[in-house]
Amino acid sequence: MKNNGYSIIEILIVIAIMSILAGGIFSVYRFIAKETAWRHYVAKNEMDVSVFLNQIIKDIETSGFGIDSLNLTRASLSSETVGGKSFSKLTVPGLAFRAERWSGCWAELNNGSITNRSKNLLGQNCQFPNEWYVVLEPYTKKNLCPQNTDYLCNSLSGMTGLVFYATNNNSYKYPDSFMLTYGVNQTNLPKECASGTYNLVKTLGTIGQPGYQANQPVISCIFPRGFVVRVGIDSGTSINYTNNLSSAHIQNKNLKLFRICLITQVGYKQDTSATEYPQFSSDCGGGPTIDTTWWNNTGRWYRWKVIEQDIPLKNYQ
């Protein structure tokens, strides 16, 4: 009688073929899943960098807000060495940096009467409760508040000028509590960051003064020497970029903008090296120059995003 069934050898061959196919399908699925996860992570990184960059732009755009002409010169640009690498350190004064409800509010003041109110940074109609303000003479930007209150006004009665909301905190000192600094550190870097990278951090206030808040993380995984700030000076016919900021630039109203130059990691480590060495343009001073060993062993396995952004300084004009 003829047997129409399968032999054990045929069954084993089929099982072997199915195992090979299943393994191939699983490998393809795992590759696609990994690639999809990597792309989603890169997209999230790109979005996060965009959000944080907008925060930096807003901060620097509002620098000088509500600050009198003498204290506008408190703005400074210096170089600091962190982890053996050189970075820019930018410090600017302003009344709109702190996350208070009426931060960013200003109005015209005529003999104690408030007119032409602005909106705050959240788009709300400004209110002027019994808190602390700076009142400036419109043309000279002279501070009209009494010196015995650190040039902050608690009462606007009888005053004329431009009034700017400062704070509801009785302990804050003007302008020390209203300084903003951007710099870098290497503290508590996320595990996704390449070794040897940095955090971009901001500090509110002046050390030793009320309201001092140090090293708030803004963007992580910054490229070595990947944070540079340049000063845009009006030369009459063009803007010249320089690393030097002097009080004369501010007093003569030649300071027009800050150029933020940033290189940050996007995504986590790749399996293959396909990254070109990131470079700044000449307006950012070129470079950065980095250790070749670090690049070959670490940097080239990551994707880097170069950001260059001019931020106008309307409050310095």
Q: Residues 189, 74: one domain?
A: yes
- Please, how many CA atoms are within 13 Å of residue 308, restricted to the half-sphere of its CB? 12
Residue 253 CB neighbour total at 10 angstroms: 12
Boundary (domain end) residue, out of 150, 167, 184 = 167
**Per residue in 66-95, pLDDT tens?**
999 999 999 999 999 999 999 999 999 999
What are the Cα distances from residue 273, in Å, to 79, 133, 254, 276, 296? 32, 55, 45, 9, 9
Q: Say how many domains are in the chain.
A: 2
Q: Residues 240, 303: one domain?
A: yes
Q: In this structure, what token pair is assigned to residue 58?
A: 């807003």
pTM of the full predicted structure?
Answer: 0.84
* Domain range enclosing 66: 40-94+175-316
Q: Does residue 118 belong to any structural domain of this protein?
A: yes
- The single-letter code of the amino acid at 161 is G
> What's the whole-number mean pLDDT along residues 160-189?
96
Boundary (domain end) residue, out of 139, 167, 195 = 167
Q: Residues 195, 296: one domain?
A: yes
Q: Does residue 19 belong to any structural domain of this protein?
A: no
Q: Residues 77, 214: one domain?
A: yes
Cβ atoms 107, 118 nearer than 8 A: yes
- The single-letter code of the amino acid at 267 is G
Beta bridge partners of 62: none
Nearest to 181 by CA among 206, 197, 148, 203: 203
What pLDDT is attached to residue 69?
Answer: 94
Q: Residues 118, 88: one domain?
A: no
**Per residue in 106-149, pLDDT tens?**
999 999 999 999 998 888 999 999 999 999 999 999 999 998 87
pLDDT bin (cut points 50, 70, 90) of residue 39 is low
Highest mean pLDDT among 8-12, 144-148, 226-230: 226-230
Boundary (domain end) residue, out of 119, 140, 167 = 167
Q: In this structure, what token pair is assigned to residue 83?
A: 């982890």
Q: Residues 127, 267: one domain?
A: no
Q: Does residue 220 belong to any structural domain of this protein?
A: yes
